[in-house]
């Protein structure tokens, strides 16, 4: 079997209500979707993440102009070989960011095809499932005004709790005092049963991150995500060494090469590659191996469409515990609760949580049935 065609779809949707994370106002959700078609008519699907406000055309151009000519005619089962060629061919201008996002999309689509050809779900091809059900955490708590929204955010927390979520990640980074007030209000609203995490999206300096972490030490947070800029591994270490809160990071890191530095330096307690931008299944398996030998748990970042969600869940379930014990903490699934039509409508069978838990998809490959009518109506083909 050979790759006969590759189609790149651009999806963009303006948000009815713009929202902010610590860095910017988000006004649209977008994604780069790739369909790889074989000479026998099978289709595999992949996604390149539009991180932050990244425009989807960057990854789309990389796929269409650079990767497509490399992959056409190849055997879709040769995922490792194709990944290696894509990475080294783009190395002088790639290595991180949107180019690796483009490689991720192709890799995920090839793994989807591999599953369909071998009639197996991807998680089986990765070595099997460590967990069939995964506890989900609610990601949300974006701002609609900026500061001074503790009441509304506490209400949001109560809604997540009413929907069955026992784990939630709160977006902070809006000023330390505002952050602390928000956390106090949320804790009051949901009580001690809910386990909280915080994410400042690298808003703070080392000293500010330490100040916030210390102020929240009695919250028993599972993790403090992206406390400082991703380039500053020493800064991560300083924060980690000076607060009694586990540190998470990695959504802005890429491939085994990038994660090697983060993991070897033990800058994080949780490594968070996003499969749609860190290099797809091929790279994420390597990242998980490096993390495991350093005793660091991988807990993927998820912010994509239905394709990204399914891919993440297959990967997540194949990740071993870095520190195994009878009552060890299992990795958890990031469940984006913000507005994103491509998460809910792109597939006929999107992942939905049940009382705060998600089940690993069955079915060959990603186990996803793309809604082609929705895709055709809401995308343009990039050429
Ligand atoms: Mg994050």
pLDDT band at 53 (very low <50, low <70, confident <90, very high): confident
> β-strands 297-298, 195-199: how paired?
unpaired
| Domain range list for the chain | 3-119+373-381, 123-359
Does the annotation count 301 as an active-site position?
A: yes
Backbone Cα Rg of the chain: 20
Residue 291 has pLDDT above 90, yes or no: yes
* Annotated active-site residue in 160, 202, 301, 314: 301
123-359 shares the fold of 3-119+373-381: no
Q: How far is the CA of 68 from the centre of ligand 1 (A)?
A: 30
Residue 157 sits at φ, ψ, to 5 deg, of: -60, -45
Q: What is the pLDDT of residues 296-351, one digit of tens each?
A: 999 999 999 999 999 999 999 999 999 999 999 999 999 999 888 898 899 999 99
- Residues 43-48, mean pLDDT to the nearest whole number: 98
Distance CA 63, CA 48 (A): 10
Residue 253 has pLDDT above 90, yes or no: yes
- Residues 43-58, mean pLDDT to the nearest whole number: 94
Contacts of 133 (CB under 8 A, 6+ apart): 357, 358, 359, 360
Residue 98 has pLDDT above 90, yes or no: yes
Q: How far is the CA of 318 from the centre of ligand 1 (A)?
A: 22
State both tokens at 102: 């483009």
What class, spelled out in words, does domain 123-359 have in CATH? Answer: alpha beta
Cα angle 135, 136, 140 (rounded to 5 degrees) comes to 160
Q: How far is the CA of 270 from the centre of ligand 1 (A)?
A: 12
Q: How far is the CA of 301 from the centre of ligand 1 (A)?
A: 7
Please check whether residue 224 is in contact with residue 213, taking contact to mean a CB–CB distance below 8 angstroms.
Answer: yes
Q: How far is the CA of 379 from the centre of ligand 1 (A)?
A: 27
Cα angle 374, 312, 168 (rounded to 5 degrees) comes to 100
Residue bearing tokens 């090697």: 260
Q: What is the pLDDT of residues 203-247, one digit of tens each?
A: 999 999 999 999 999 999 999 999 999 999 999 999 999 999 999
Query: Is domain 3-119+373-381 annotated with CATH 3.20.20.70?
Result: no
State the pTM of this model.
0.98
């Amino acid at each position: 079997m050979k790759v006969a065609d590759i189609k790149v779809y651009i999806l963009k949707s303006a948000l009815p209500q713009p929202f902010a994370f610590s860095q910017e106002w988000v006004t649209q959700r977008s994604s780069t979707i790739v369909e790889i078609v074989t000479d026998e008519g099978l289709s595999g699907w992949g996604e390149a993440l539009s991180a932050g406000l990244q425009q989807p055309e960057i990854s789309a151009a990389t796929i269409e102009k650079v990767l497509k000519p490399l992959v056409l005619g190849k055997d879709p089962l040769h995922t490792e070989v194709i990944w290696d060629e894509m990475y080294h061919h783009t190395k002088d201008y790639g290595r991180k960011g949107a180019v690796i996002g483009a490689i991720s999309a192709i890799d995920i689509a090839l793994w989807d095809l591999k599953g369909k050809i071998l009639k197996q779900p991807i998680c089986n091809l990765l070595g099997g499932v460590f967990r069939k059900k995964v506890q989900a955490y609610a990601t949300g708590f974006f701002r609609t005004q900026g500061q001074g929204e503790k009441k509304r955010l506490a209400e949001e927390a109560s809604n997540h709790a009413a929907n069955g979520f026992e784990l939630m990640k709160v977006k902070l980074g809006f000023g330390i005092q505002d952050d602390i007030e928000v956390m106090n209000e949320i804790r009051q609203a949901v009580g001690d049963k809910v386990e909280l995490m915080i994410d400042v999206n690298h808003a703070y300096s080392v000293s500010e991150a330490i100040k916030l972490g210390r102020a929240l030490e009695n919250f028993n947070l599972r993790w403090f995500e992206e406390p400082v800029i991703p380039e500053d591994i020493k800064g991560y270490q300083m924060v980690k060494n000076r607060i009694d809160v586990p540190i998470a990071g990695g959504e802005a890191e890429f491939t085994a090469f990038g994660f090697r530095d983060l993991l070897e330096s033990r800058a994080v307690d949780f490594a968070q590659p996003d499969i749609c931008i860190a290099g797809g299944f091929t790279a994420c398996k390597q990242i998980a191996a490096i993390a495991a030998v350093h005793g660091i748990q991988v807990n993927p970042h998820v912010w994509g469409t239905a394709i990204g969600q399914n891919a993440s869940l297959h990967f997540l379930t194949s990740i071993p515990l870095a520190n195994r014990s009878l009552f060890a903490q299992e990795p958890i699934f990031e469940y984006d609760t913000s507005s994103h039509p491509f998460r809910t409508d792109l597939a006929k069978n999107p992942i939905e949580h049940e009382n705060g838990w998600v089940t690993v998809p069955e079915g060959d490959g990603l186990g996803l049935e793309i809604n082609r009518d929705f895709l055709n109506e809401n995308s343009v083909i990039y050429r």
